[in-house]
Homo-oligomer: A and B are copies of this chain.
Amino acid sequence: MKVGFADTTFARVNMGKIAIDELRRICSLPYERYTVPGVKDLPVAAKKLIEERNCSIVVAMGMPGPKPIDKQCAHEASLGLIMVQLMTNTHVIEVFVHEDECRDEKELLEVTENRVREHVRNAVDLILNPKKLQKLAGTGQRQGFEDVGPVLR
């Protein structure tokens, strides 16, 4: 089993590096990394990681800018990432951090780091320990920011 990491030169934080660090921290799975220019290049990178480099799961990371055109690119990339999964029967965990989610660069850095690390753990759980996710079903998990938590009865 191998984990694929796809990231971009467009992002303003080295998301791939954080992902690799987290993977090493939590397990000994090998990984492949594939860096592309922008988020719209991620779908085919994810597909190649799965089909040409035998990854069992991919974490696809990007940081869409704040302009409407950036939002649209992210939307197109997201659709592509869903298609990849359906063509390969393999999970591709999308980790997008929108620049305008955050108040300033400090928060952007924190949210990015947290979201990448949490989703790397989700990816590892999906392939090694799916029951762990089942235990968290419906608990309002969020990645990057605080969990919202479940609705209390």
Contact = CB atoms under 8 A, between A and B. Distances in A.
Contact of A69 (B13, B92, B98): B98
A89 B52 contact: yes
Q: Assign chain A's interface to a size class.
A: 35 or more
Given A12-B148, A149-B12, A151-B108, A40 B137 contact: no
B138 A40 contact: no
A82 B86 contact: no
Nearest to A52: B89
A140 B62 CA distance: 11
B136 A35 contact: yes
A137 B86 contact: no
Given A7-B138, A137-B35, A141-B37, A13 B150 contact: yes
